[in-house]
Structure formats: C-alpha cells, structure tokens
Amino acid sequence: MNDKIAAHVRDIPRSGIRDFFEIVQSMHDVISLGIGEPDFVTPWHIREAALFSLEKGRTGYTSNLGLPKLREAIANYVARKFHVQYHAPSEVLVSVGVSEAIDIALRALLNPGDEVLYHEPCYVSYNPSVTLAHGKAVSVPVHEKDNFQLRADELEKRITPKSKILLLNFPTNPTGATMPRKALEPIAELCVKHDLIVLSDEIYAELTYDGAEHVSIATLPGMRERTVFLHGLSKGWAMTGFRIGYACAPAPLIEAMMKIHQYAILCAPTMTQDAAIEALDHGDAAVAHMREKYELRRNFIVSALNDMGLPCPLPRGAFYVFVDIRPTGLTSREFSLRLLEEHKVAVVPGTAFGKDGEGFVRCSYATSLEQIKIAMERMAGFVQHVSRRAA
Amino acid sequence: METLLRLLQQDSTVSREDLARQLNLSVDEVGRRIAELEQNGVIRGYQAIVDRERFDKNTVTAFIEVRITPERGGGFDRIAERIAKFDQVVSCYLISGGYDLLVVVQGTSLREVASFVSEKLSTIESVISTATLFRLKTYKENGALLTAETAEDRLAVSP
C-alpha cells in the first residue's frame, strides 16, 4: 500500500514527539513536563455555557464562517486586547483550532514551490503543513543569545523572489520567546519591502510575564493588510479539547480560506462556539488567574534549573522553558531518554522542534507545582550525576 | 504582597523556600513579608479546611439569621461582638436585607445548637427574632470543592 501514498505525504518524517510519547506511555509513575496543554480544567463558567448550549438543543451546523455572535465577540476581543480592528462579518473565520486555520491559510495562499519562511525551533506542525500545501518550508534559526527572538538580518538572508509567507509564533512554543515592539519593527519593514504575507500564530498571547505587553505584528505600519492574525481559546482559556481557533484577515483572504474550510470542515462545533463566546466576553478574570499560576511556576522552575547548573534566563511567554543542557555533555535525545528511563521525568528533546533545538530540552510548566517540584528534584539528581561523570 | 497573600490563602503550609522560588524573592524577604502581614493583622491565623462530615457524621452547622434592635451610639457593634464571643459561634457577620446578623454556629448535635439559640441567643435583650437554617451538605468550603472533580487523562507528551 505504501506506494499508493502521495509522495509529499510519505516523505514527511514521523513526529519526534510521537516517538517519545510512545516510550512515556509504556512507563509508570512518570512525571511529565512534556505536555503542551494547560493542566487546568476549562473554567466552569465556560463549561457551563457549553452545557447550556446543549440543553437548548443547539446541535446543528453554524454558518461556515462561524456563529455571527462569536465572530462579533472575536472582533471585539481582538480590538480590545490587541488594538486591531476587524469587520466581524467579512474578516473573521472560526476554525477548528489554530492548526486548521494555519493549514487553510497556507493552502489558500501557496502555489506549488512558493516559499514559506518560519523561525526554528518552532511548533512541530509548521514545516509539514507547508509541505502538505505544496510550498517549500525555509527555516530561519533563532538563537538563545537573542532570547530566541527572530532577527531581521537572519530573515533577510533567506528571502528569495519565491518567498511569499512569513510564519510567526510569538510567544513561542517551545522557547517561550516574546517579541517586543522594537524587535518586531524591523521584521515588519522587511515584510513590507519584500511583499510578504505574515501568518501570525498568537495562540499564547495572553500568557506573557513580568508585565511584558503582547504586541501583534498586525498593529505595525503597513501590516494589517498583509497579516493573517491567528488565535484561539486553547491555551489562554484552557480549552484545548474545545477545538476553537480563529483567523482575522482582509476579506478576500478570509473568503479564500472559507472555500477550503467549508468543503473540508464545514464549521467548528456549535456548542464549543457558544462556549467560546462566554470565554471571550467574560473570561478575563479566569485567564488572569491561570496566567498568574503559570508565572509563579515559571519562576520556580527557572530558579531550580539555575540551582542545578543549567542556567537559563526567564522566558517571558507561553508555558515552556527551553533549557540549555549542553553543560551535561549529552545530546537532547540522550538527555531526555536517560532522564526518563533513570529518573522518570519526561521532557521533550529540543530536536523535536527542528535541528536547531539540539542541545536543548523543552520543559513545560503547565503542570502542578507539586509535580514540578518533584520533577526538579529528580532532574537535579540526574544532572549532578552526569556532570560528575563528564568532569 | 497581593500574590503572596493569595498563595498563603490557598495553602498556608507551603514552605518559605517554595514561596521564595515562585515569587523570585529571597527566603528572608518572604519571611519578612509574612511577619509584616501577621503583625499588621492582615493574616489572623492559619487553619485547616476540614470536611467535618468525614470525621463525625453528627456535627451540626447552623446559619442563624438574627434581628436585633440597634443601640443608640453603638449601633449593632456591641451586641454583635457579644454574640461573636460565644465559643459555639464560628462566624458572625453584619448583613443587609431582612435580618441584621448572620451567625454561624457549630455543635455536636441538633439539640446542642437548638439550646444555644433558645437559651443564649434569643434571650439577649436586643434580639428581636431568630431563624435557624441547618446545613444539610457542604459542597465547597473556603474555596475548596469537597466534591472534587476527577482528574482527566491528559496525554503524557503533546506538542
């Protein structure tokens, strides 16, 4: 059967995370810092809104673009929080998670061979999503010394006449990097200069720390008309299983994305769209509460990592620390496998997020402080053990 | 200060070392701030949240609505403080609405609570009337859900 599989699908390598997941699954008593979703259960008032929706018998399809009332809530929220205005009836599309929105945006924009620039290490789906849309994925490395921020000179070096899209994800999974306005400005200028469309995945926008303000690239001069603003409820509101994401973009692009969405997906689930309205209109306090919890855990985990001889600066967004494990002399994979097998702590090797992730592991702090505490104790023991051997 | 207070309200047994790590403060600084909160009376004490029913099925809690005649000069304070001093009274609040005080009373039996109300509370001169509401079941106590939600199964590793 293998010869029947389309070549561009067959050639996509297995996800490094899946690989690791299967090993973890086979073990007992593992503390996992490998989880890329909130540990909180969705706030009750949001779950209750989903129940109410079912109670009222709202079980049919919605408009392909999503419930008008939800699109209105999205436009209001984006204007209120990120200071970008979108026309709800024509510039907002509700998708099944941000992943779907990225997929349909890429498919709506790419002709075969068009190039998509993205910063790496990055979320696992970007590169394959580009390939599946018959584009060519071009990675731009980001470095720890720059706090994993994207540098304009690194980007410009890789722009060619075929470059069409820049894919951004700040705050970043897996590095926790954020891009302040000053760092975004030269990137935006390059996009205008080279006529690039930006797909900006801002799923972690609510989760920034130390008072860092989240700036959307769509707010910078000349950017709104070339940006697809992508966001969703999964992370900030702890609603991963609800599968609600959205795209805001100029009307012709939303219309093109809608063509794919309507034939592939039809619409996002109705009861979770109803829940999303509640989340956007009345969820600020719950989001702030969870954000504070993450910030405290981040402080804890970073302080513990520093104490065990794996110095890392405080990441300012998302819920990940991308830990430099080079002082141990181990590769990402060796480190992760041995930590798992010898000390029952799961982290994700940095290489799962691109080859530039070598020398790093991703620790998620979307897990309870009690678990983090035990994990850090075990990890400290491991690091001490391997460092002594290395010395 | 606000965050420290919130953390202590959620779990006052958390160690100063853990607090320090979370708050990016030194252990000494955490100790100093807690001492300050204690000294200026913001923190009034540390208690366990107890699900009494698991320990002793007979424990009775009653919420008693009390109407009183306010006193010239003293308002409700003197009489409310007098009621609050009884050991049986767990909490005592001045409230708006049809009643003036909400008094929470705990006892080891219905009879004990009933006799407290009839002999101690109702006999106070300025008490006009009382209404006693017995607790039947507790669902949430001081922010802690007593009927806990079962933890969902999360994927062990996810992107």
Q: Where are the domains of chain A?
A: 2-42+285-390, 60-282
Alpha carbons A251 and B91: distance in angstroms, whole number: 60
Q: How far is B139 from chain A (nearest CA, A)?
A: 15
Q: What is the spatial distance between Cα B19 and Cα B8, in angstroms, rounded to a whole number?
A: 9
Write the DSSP assignment of A99-117 as a string of letters. Answer: HHHHHHHHHHHPPTT-EEE
Q: What distance in Å separates residue B112's CA from the closest CA in chain A?
A: 38
Same fold flag, A2-42+285-390 and A60-282: no
- Give the span between the Cα atoms of B30 and B78, in whole angstroms: 38
Q: Tell me, yes or no, if A354 comes closer than 8 A to chain B by beta carbon.
A: no
The per-residue pLDDT for range A119-163, each reduced to its tens digit, is 999 999 999 999 999 999 999 999 999 999 999 999 999 999 999
| A173 to B154: CB separation less than 8 angstroms, yes or no | no
- Average pLDDT for A347-374: 95
Q: How does strand B101-107 pair with strand B60-68?
A: antiparallel
pLDDT for B143:
85
Token match 């951004």: residue?
Answer: A168
pLDDT tens digits, A204-213: 999 999 988 9
What is the pLDDT, as a whole number, of residue B154?
77
CATH classification for the domain delimited by A60-282, as one of 3.40.50.300, 3.40.640.10, 3.90.209.20, 3.30.420.10: 3.40.640.10
Which residues of B fall within a CB distance of 8 Å from A292? Answer: 3, 6
Q: Are A236 and A206 in contact (CB under 8 A)?
A: yes
Cβ of A35 within 8 Å of Cβ of B158? The answer is yes
Query: Which regions of chain A does DSSP assign to beta strands (E)?
Result: 31-32, 92-95, 115-120, 136-141, 163-168, 197-201, 227-232, 245-248, 320-324, 345-346, 348-349, 360-364
Q: Which residues contact A281 (CB under 8 A, 6 or more apart)?
A: A73, A76, A77
Q: Sorting pLDDT into bands at 50, 70 and 90, what band is A52?
A: very high
List the one residue out of A204, A216, A229, A237 whose CA is nearest residue A316: A204
The answer to which of A88-92, A310-314, A335-339, B96-100 has the lowest mean pLDDT is A310-314
Class of domain A2-42+285-390 (CATH, top level): alpha beta
Residue B150 has what pLDDT?
63
pLDDT for A391 beyond 70: no
Whether residue A339 is predicted with pLDDT greater than 90 in this model: the reply is yes
Question: What pTM did the predictor assign?
Answer: 0.89
CB contact under 8 A, A35 and B154: yes
Q: Give Cβ neighbours of residue A208 (< 8 Å, ≥ 6 apart).
A: A171, A178, A214, A316, A317
Question: Which residues in chain B are contacts of A36 at CB distance < 8 A?
Answer: 158-159
Q: Which two tokens stand for residue B85?
A: 């001093």
The alpha carbon torsion through A329, A331, A333, A334 (nearest 10 deg) reads: -40
Q: What is the pLDDT along chain B (159 residues), one digit of tens a residue?
A: 889 999 999 999 999 999 999 999 999 999 999 999 999 999 999 999 888 888 888 889 999 999 999 888 878 999 999 999 999 999 999 999 999 999 999 999 999 999 999 999 999 989 999 999 999 999 998 888 887 666 567 788 888
pLDDT tens-digit series, residues A238-279: 999 999 999 999 999 999 999 999 999 999 999 999 999 999
Percent of chain A at pLDDT > 70 equals 99
Which ipTM did the prediction report?
Answer: 0.74
Q: Locate tokens 């991963």: which residue? A: A240
**Do the Cβ atoms of B21 and A125 come within 8 Å?**
no
Contact yes or no for B21 and A292 at CB 8 A? no
